[in-house]
Structure 1
Amino acid sequence: MKLTESNALARVAAYCSKAERCEYDVRKKLLGWELTEEEQQRIIERLRKEKFLDERRFVQSFVKDKIRFNKWGKAKISFELRKKKIPADIINECLGELDESELDESLRKILETKNKSIKAQNDYERKTKLIRFALSRGFSMDQVLKTLTGIIGNTDEEYF
């Protein structure tokens, strides 16, 4: 669908005002409207100037939401932000500001819940399944082992 630059600006401004957006998402939207590269660049610059578009603010919101609602760890959040072409320095800065206790609490909750639903033949299999699950959510191995020790008990290195 072909839009004029002013119509596209109005639509994308409304799109950005509903939730935090990153430049990558906005560009995808603009590409669908068959705008030239120059028009897209002018629209993005205007959105930045008028504070509709702010990568740092987007990352902070994204990180907070993914930890609180999706129960993701740093690795998965970082991966998803890199897919959206967010600069590494912004990602590292925002992840560095995280409260580690909030991440630990999130990991503890998902592991306790998952532990109740796992069907395993023995402790080794149970721990392995829990570790795999937590790693797939983006938590580090050290963090997982430390949390599992608190939930299940001794997670001997011999298991891994």
Structure 2
Amino acid sequence: MPSQKTYTVEEAKKRIERYCAYQERCHKEVQQKLRDMKMIPEAINLITAHLIEENYLNETRFAKAFARGKFNTKKWGKQRIVRELKVRAIGQYNIKIALKEIPEDAYLQTFEALAEKRLQQLTSEININKKKKKLADYLFYRGWEPELVWGKVRQLS
């Protein structure tokens, strides 16, 4: 069994700085990475404080980038984004700020485009109720709000 490499606080600090510079990270990810590096709790707190002071780690910036990214690339709705941010231990204040990154008109346009695209994929489904259920399940999984989803489903009659 290969031995686990050990790091000094300075080595760990440099490594984690690169880790954070590569892409936005949340506190939870960074602390897990440090635990994986077998750092002791005191060192983890010291390094986390250093990263925050040096602006490598910024929860608000992470939340905003996360919300923009997941909306633009994965077409996630606000509910899914909120759920995923909560899993990453992001506070309610930062979640609110992050959701403001998504323009309302772009949000609704994306929803319509996603729903239409999914409907095109469901052309082979003959049973209208099954078609409605598949569309609703797909949109809910992506985290879109119930009023939007049910409004779209009601249009299929």
Query: TM-score if structure 2 supplies the norm length?
Result: 0.89
- 1:127 is aligned to 132
TM superposition shift of 1:102: 1.6
- 2:89 is aligned to 85
- 2:149 is aligned to 144
CA distance in 1, matches of 2:36, 2:119: 45
Structure 1: segments with no counterpart, 5+ residues: none
CA distance in 1, matches of 2:155, 2:70: 30
- 1:26 is aligned to 30
TM superposition shift of 1:78: 0.8
TM superposition shift of 1:88: 1.8
One of 48, 55, 63 as aligned partner of 1:51: 55
Q: Give aligned-pair identity as a percent.
A: 27
One of 75, 82, 87 as aligned partner of 2:79: 75
One of 13, 18, 33 as aligned partner of 2:17: 13
- 2:155 is aligned to 154
CA distance in 1, matches of 2:75, 2:88: 19
Q: Is the partner of 1:69 in helix, strand or coil?
A: helix
Q: Which amino acid aligns with 1:59?
A: A
CA distance in 1, matches of 2:95, 2:47: 24
RMSD between aligned residues: 1.7
Q: Comparing 91-100 with 69-78, which one deviates more in the overlay?
A: 91-100
Within the alignment, does 1:66 sit opposite 2:70 as a pair?
A: yes
TM superposition shift of 1:155: 4.8
Aligned residues: 152
CA distance in 1, matches of 2:155, 2:67: 31
Query: TM-score if structure 1 supplies the norm length?
Result: 0.88
CA distance in 1, matches of 2:74, 2:155: 28
1:3 and 1:35 in contact (8 A); partners too: yes
Q: Which amino acid aligns with 1:115?
A: L
Within the alignment, does 1:106 sit opposite 2:110 as a pair?
A: yes
